[in-house]
């Protein structure tokens, strides 16, 4: 349970002004929370199943193919405890599998419900992720299917975000393959993309709202970093994903379907068509 609100009133007001389409800096009150100390996170890593932990070198290029990511040299607990000098990036995924962290995630996201539900529907698939990064570490260029707020707990980092619906950056088939599991979240980088990026730097007590599938990469500051990512899916995000998948089916027949519309477009017809097709296929 939280002893105080995770998001102060001014942060909730700012969130209401930009959700769900725009990136923005917010503030939060989770700095110093006992579940987010390095010692607590090392214990969390021990409690999570192996499939919920990802860690590797923090000194990667902005764009890297998943098969080129080097294997880590230390165990995850030692990596976390030595994060100041281990040159690493650690992701603890779906932290809600541990009851104390499920309660933290539930309390934080409950504060957003009044803004989220009327716009994009009920908050579903509530998941939390913790990122622990060595000084100067890089998280490569990628996008994610969830609504996301990244809260900075320790250290600083700069996230550079790119327009969600810019198909000059990534063509429609890239989005379709992603939702069908045929494309890793890491994205190919070209230097000409840089001009379209919006860089947002956050310190402890600050956060970033990351729209669904906004391409981004992250540069850590000069101190070890701990960040908490609170995420959820919505009927709108599922409809966009299913409409993309249905477009891939149409493309397989030689058609050139129109891309799903950005919010507030609901994309229901194609989403329902794909869900019916998926049910028939079993």
| CATH for 48 | 2.60.120.10
Whether 259 and 225 share a structural domain: no
Closest CA to 211 of 154, 250, 168, 262: 262
pLDDT (0 to 100) of residue 220 = 94
Higher pLDDT, 217 or 73: 217
- 3 in a structural domain: no
The HSE-up count of residue 37 (CA atoms within 13 Å, CB side) is: 6
The set of residues, in sequence order, having a beta carbon less than 8 Å from that of 173 and lying 6+ positions away, is 248, 251
Residue 176 — pLDDT band, cuts 50, 70, 90? very high
| DSSP state for residue 64 in the 8-state scheme | -
Residue 211 contacts residue 162 (beta carbons within 8 Å): no
Whether 164 and 253 share a structural domain: no
Overall domain count for the chain: 2
Residue range 124-149: mean pLDDT, rounded: 94
Whether 271 and 230 share a structural domain: no
Residue 87 — pLDDT band, cuts 50, 70, 90? confident
The set of residues, in sequence order, having a beta carbon less than 8 Å from that of 75 and lying 6+ positions away, is none
Residue range 234-261: mean pLDDT, rounded: 96
Where would I find the beta strands (DSSP E) of the chain? 24-27, 53-57, 88-93, 124-133, 138-142, 147-154, 157-161, 198-202, 206-210, 216-220, 225-233
Whether 119 and 249 share a structural domain: no
Whether 150 and 242 share a structural domain: no
Question: Over the stretch 112-136, which tens digit does the pLDDT of each residue have?
Answer: 999 999 999 999 999 999 999 999 9
- 195 burial via Cβ count (<10 Å: 0-12, 13-18, 19+): exposed
According to DSSP, the residues that pair with 231 across neighbouring strands are 127, 148
When mean pLDDT is compared across 86-95, 103-112, 228-237, the lowest value belongs to 86-95
Whether 57 and 190 share a structural domain: yes
- 127 in a structural domain: yes
Domain range for 263 is 238-281
- 258 in a structural domain: yes
Whether 32 and 135 share a structural domain: yes
When mean pLDDT is compared across 53-62, 140-149, 152-161, 243-252, the lowest value belongs to 53-62
Residue 190 contacts residue 3 (beta carbons within 8 Å): no
Tokens of 83: 């994060």
Question: Over the stretch 20-74, which tens digit does the pLDDT of each residue have?
Answer: 999 999 999 999 999 999 999 999 999 999 999 988 776 767 776 666 655 656 6
Whether 188 and 254 share a structural domain: no
- 267 in a structural domain: yes
Tokens of 131: 């990122």
pLDDT (0 to 100) of residue 66 = 63
Whether 160 and 272 share a structural domain: no
Whether 210 and 248 share a structural domain: no
């Amino acid at each position: 349970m939280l002893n105080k609100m995770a998001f102060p009133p001014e942060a909730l007001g700012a969130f209401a002004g930009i959700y769900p389409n725009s990136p923005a800096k917010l503030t939060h009150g989770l700095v110093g929370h006992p579940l987010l100390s390095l010692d607590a996170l090392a214990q969390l890593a021990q409690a999570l199943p192996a499939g919920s932990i990802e860690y590797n070198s923090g000194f990667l290029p902005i764009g890297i193919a998943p098969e080129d990511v080097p294997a880590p040299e230390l165990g995850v607990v030692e990596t976390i405890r030595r994060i100041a000098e281990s040159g690493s990036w650690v992701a603890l995924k779906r932290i809600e599998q541990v009851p104390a962290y499920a309660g933290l995630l539930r309390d934080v996201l409950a504060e957003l419900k009044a803004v989220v539900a009327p716009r994009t529907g009920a908050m579903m698939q509530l998941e939390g992720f913790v990122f622990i990064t060595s000084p100067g570490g890089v998280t490569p260029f990628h996008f994610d299917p969830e609504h996301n707020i990244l809260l900075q707990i320790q250290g600083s980092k700069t996230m550079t975000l790119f327009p969600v619906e810019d198909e000059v950056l990534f063509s429609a088939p890239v989005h379709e393959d992603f939702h069908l599991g045929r494309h890793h979240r890491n994205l190919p980088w070209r230097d000409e993309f840089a001009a379209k990026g919006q860089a947002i730097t956050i310190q402890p007590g600050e956060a970033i709202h990351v729209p669904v599938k906004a391409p981004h990469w992250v540069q850590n500051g000069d101190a070890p970093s701990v960040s908490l990512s609170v995420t959820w899916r919505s009927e709108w995000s599922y409809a966009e994903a299913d409409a993309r998948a249905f477009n891939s089916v149409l493309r397989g027949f030689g058609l050139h379907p129109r891309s799903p519309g950005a919010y507030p477009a609901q994309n229901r017809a194609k989403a329902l068509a794909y869900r019916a097709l998926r049910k028939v296929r079993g």
